[in-house]
């Protein structure tokens, strides 16, 4: 072996020895490091439950007032509103009252009960052609004194259960302190007691209600008002005045405060004005006077008054069986304040509402 080869092997051995020495002397900082894991967010336990759905308390369907609705149908009663019929009995306990104009420009009321049970109601009078289109969505009971055969047929076809004094229905009687025909009165508990199997269910919501008075459409987006002066006919000019102390509109017949027979002032949390055509029908009254009705299937203008404010609305009713809906100018539902409601049906072209 030559000297050169021996020298090369020696150098190689020396290099290997030095590499081993350097490896053994390396510090921990010189060793390859494992990267830290990247944190992307909090860890969610696989058994974590979803947030609970908010519990919405039940409300009475015709008033929007919180409470557990009773399992009974709505009860509508035809109530007279002439001077000789006042003060009426039980009006202050109605959930909704519809005021209509019948023949001879007379005002007649449809009082609808569900959340309260008055001991007595009256004076009770006869049905008219506008009653079916107003009451069909409720599919409840209708108590009245009587009616013309053709009008009775319309009522029967609307799906309500008829409770007629002329037909001998229980629970109606004539009071001795009033002259006929202004003296028919009735007992609501008896009327509810004769509800048949097809008329047991509570009514559905008719108007929409805000959860609280401060969220009502008129309160949120309306204009302050103190008086609602209606001219429904030459013989009927009801007025409603805002009373901040009670948070209600107080009713007057003209300039005379309207009261129930109990002495309670008639009042409403909401007053709804509905303007609609008021055509004559083929039915006649005494002396050949035409019996009118209202064209309530379709749409038209209205006003909602709640909380001392008013807001213009559009009303819409898609069919006789459909409830009437109210909308603001933006198309949003015109929610009423929780409480009772009076609906004033204003004849288009002849009736009016003045807000001041």
DSSP string covering 146-209, please? ---HHHHHHHHHTTPEEEETTTT-TTEEE-TTS-TTS-EEE-HHHHHHT--GGG-SPPPP-S-B
Using CA atoms, how far residue 251 sits from 140, 207, 238, 271, in Å, is: 27, 21, 7, 10
Residue 54: pLDDT band (50, 70, 90) is confident
What is the rounded average pLDDT of the residues 327-349? 98
Residue 353: pLDDT band (50, 70, 90) is very high
How many CB atoms lie under 10 A from the CB of residue 215? Answer: 14
What predicted TM-score, i.e. pTM, was given to this entire model? 0.85
What is the rounded average pLDDT of the residues 73-90? 98
Residue 47: pLDDT band (50, 70, 90) is low
- Is 163 in contact with 143 (CB distance < 8 Å)? yes
Whether 41 has a pLDDT exceeding 90, the answer reads no
Using CA atoms, how far residue 264 sits from 108, 109, 244, 250, in Å, is: 20, 18, 17, 11
Q: What is the pLDDT of residues 109-125, one digit of tens each?
A: 999 999 999 999 999 99
How many CB atoms lie under 10 A from the CB of residue 297? Answer: 15
Using CA atoms, how far residue 336 sits from 167, 204, 355, in Å, is: 38, 16, 18
Output the pLDDT for position 45.
55
Output the pLDDT for position 18.
39
Whether 272 has a pLDDT exceeding 80, the answer reads yes
Question: Percentage helix, strand, coil, to 5, in the chain?
Answer: 20, 35, 45
| Spatial CA neighbour of 298 closest among 328, 327, 276 | 276
- Is 309 in contact with 181 (CB distance < 8 Å)? no
Residue 240: pLDDT band (50, 70, 90) is very high
Whether 34 has a pLDDT exceeding 50, the answer reads no
Residue 288: pLDDT band (50, 70, 90) is confident
In angstroms and rounded to an integer, the radius of gyration of the C-alpha atoms of the chain is 37
Q: What is the pLDDT of residues 122-172, one digit of tens each?
A: 999 999 999 999 999 999 999 999 999 999 999 999 999 999 999 999 999
Cα separation, 342 vs 320, whole angstroms: 20
What is the rounded average pLDDT of the residues 195-220? 98
């Amino acid at each position: 072996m030559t000297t050169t080869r021996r020298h090369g092997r020696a150098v190689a051995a020396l290099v290997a020895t030095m590499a081993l020495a350097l490896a053994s002397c390396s510090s921990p900082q010189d060793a390859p490091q494992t990267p830290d894991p990247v944190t992307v967010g909090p860890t969610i336990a696989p058994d974590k439950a979803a947030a609970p759905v908010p519990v919405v308390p039940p409300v009475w369907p015709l008033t929007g007032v919180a409470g557990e609705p009773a399992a009974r149908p709505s009860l509508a009663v035809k109530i007279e509103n002439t001077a000789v019929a006042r003060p009426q009995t039980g009006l202050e306990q109605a959930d909704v009252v519809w005021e209509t104009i019948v023949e001879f420009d007379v005002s007649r009321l449809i009082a609808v009960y569900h959340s309260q049970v008055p001991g007595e109601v009256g004076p009770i009078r006869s049905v008219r052609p506008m009653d079916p289109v107003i009451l069909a969505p409720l599919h409840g009971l209708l108590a009245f004194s009587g009616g013309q055969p053709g009008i009775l047929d319309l009522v029967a076809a609307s799906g309500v259960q008829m409770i007629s004094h002329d037909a001998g229905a229980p629970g109606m009687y004539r009071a001795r302190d009033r002259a006929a025909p202004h003296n028919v009165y009735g007992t609501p508990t008896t009327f509810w007691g004769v509800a048949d199997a097809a008329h047991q269910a509570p009514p559905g919501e008719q108007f929409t209600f805000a959860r609280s008075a401060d969220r009502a459409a008129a309160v949120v987006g309306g204009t302050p008002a103190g008086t609602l002066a209606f001219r429904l006919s030459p013989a009927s000019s009801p007025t409603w005045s805002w009373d901040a102390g009670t948070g209600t509109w107080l009713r007057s017949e003209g300039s005379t405060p309207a009261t129930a027979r109990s002495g309670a002032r008639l009042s409403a949390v909401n007053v709804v004005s509905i303007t609609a055509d008021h055509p004559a029908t083929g039915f006649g009254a005494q002396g050949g006077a035409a019996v009118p009705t209202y064209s309530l299937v379709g749409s038209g203008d209205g006003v909602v008054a709640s909380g001392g404010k008013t807001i213009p609305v559009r009303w819409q009713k898609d069919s006789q069986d459909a409830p009437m809906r109210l909308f603001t100018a933006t198309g949003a539902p015109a929610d009423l304040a929780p409480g009772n409601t009076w609906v004033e049906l204003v004849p288009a072209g002849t009736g009016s509402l003045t807000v001041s």
